[in-house]
Chain A
Amino acid sequence: EAAVTQSPRNKVTVTGGNVTLSCRQTNSHNYMYWYRQDTGHGLRLIHYSYGAGNLQIGDVPDGYKATRTTQEDFFLLLELASPSQTSLYFCASSDARGANSDYTFGSGTRLLVI
């Protein structure tokens, strides 16, 4: 079954720590996205990618790097984690440029920065 799988499901790190969130999709989709969700803000786009080696900046990119190593794998990197990055992170994939294409979301990664 086509899916988007995120790991880890939960992560705790200290301020200044280095964190990598992983996302793998088996949908054969070209597009992948990282969102964060916080109370009162809904989902906000961090970074996205059109394909392996491609990276596009989203709406809230500060403090985040991302890398798309293959069509299936998209990573979100927090090299100096801060408490403000405590959030619920979702990865998603889609198969076309926006319209007439549905997005498939992963189950999320809960990150706590203490």
Chain B
Amino acid sequence: DAKTTQPDSMESTEGETVHLPCSHATISGNEYIYWYRQVPLQGPEYVTHGLQQNTTNSMAFLAIASDRKSSTLILPHVSLRDAAVYHCIPLTGANTGKLTFGHGTILRVHP
């Protein structure tokens, strides 16, 4: 499995656009990049995923570098509800169930 590097924490203010980086330099060609987030004492929540093309949904925009060695989760106009630990996870079909959650990035959102 590809290893990932994320900053330990980031600070933001409500209404700002937040860019959460993830480095996955050893990612293989068949690994998707998944993003999950988790608030304390709750189950992880799916945010988005992508393979090569940038993707967007109601929660976030995922920008994937052309060499796929890094990606950035972009959260527009964050609110207090977006405060969570954000995990970047490479995943292939061979890794069923092995969502490996590292420490992720703690996103703090200030009023």
B94 touches A42 (CB 8 A): no
A42-B103, A99-B32, A102-B46 given as contacts; is B41 within 8 A of A56 (CB)?
A: no
Query: CA–CA, A96 to B45, complex, Å?
Result: 17
Interface of A is mostly: strand
Pick the residue among A50, A99, A108 that contacts B91 (CB under 8 A): A99
Answer yes or no: B111 CB below 8 A from chain A CBs: no
A100 touches B46 (CB 8 A): no
Chain A proximity mask over B29-41: 1 for CB below 8 Å, otherwise 0? 0111010100001
Contacting A at CB under 8 A, from B1-32, are 30-32
Answer yes or no: A92 CB below 8 A from chain B CBs: yes
B43 touches A105 (CB 8 A): yes
A43-B99, A58-B97, A97-B96 given as contacts; is B49 within 8 A of A102 (CB)?
A: yes
A105 touches B45 (CB 8 A): yes
Query: CA–CA, A28 to B101, complex, Å?
Result: 25
Shortest Cβ gap from A97 to chain B (Å): 5
B43 touches A31 (CB 8 A): no
When distances are taken between beta carbons in the complex, the residues of chain B under 8 Å from A4 are: 43
Residues of A in contact, count (CB < 8 Å): 29
- Nearest residue, chain B, Cβ from A6: B43
Interface contacts beyond A31-B96, A94-B97, A99-B92: sample of 16 additional A-B pairs, CB < 8 Å, sorted by A: A42-B102, A56-B97, A90-B43, A90-B44, A92-B43, A94-B96, A97-B96, A99-B30, A99-B31, A99-B91, A100-B32, A100-B49, A103-B44, A103-B46, A108-B41, A108-B42
Could you jot down 24 A-B contacts, CB within 8 Å? A31-B96, A35-B99, A42-B100, A42-B101, A45-B97, A45-B98, A90-B43, A92-B43, A92-B99, A94-B97, A96-B93, A98-B95, A98-B97, A99-B91, A99-B92, A99-B93, A100-B49, A100-B51, A102-B34, A102-B46, A103-B46, A105-B44, A107-B43, A110-B41
The 6 closest A-B pairs by CB, nearest first: A105-B43, A48-B97, A102-B46, A42-B101, A98-B93, A43-B101
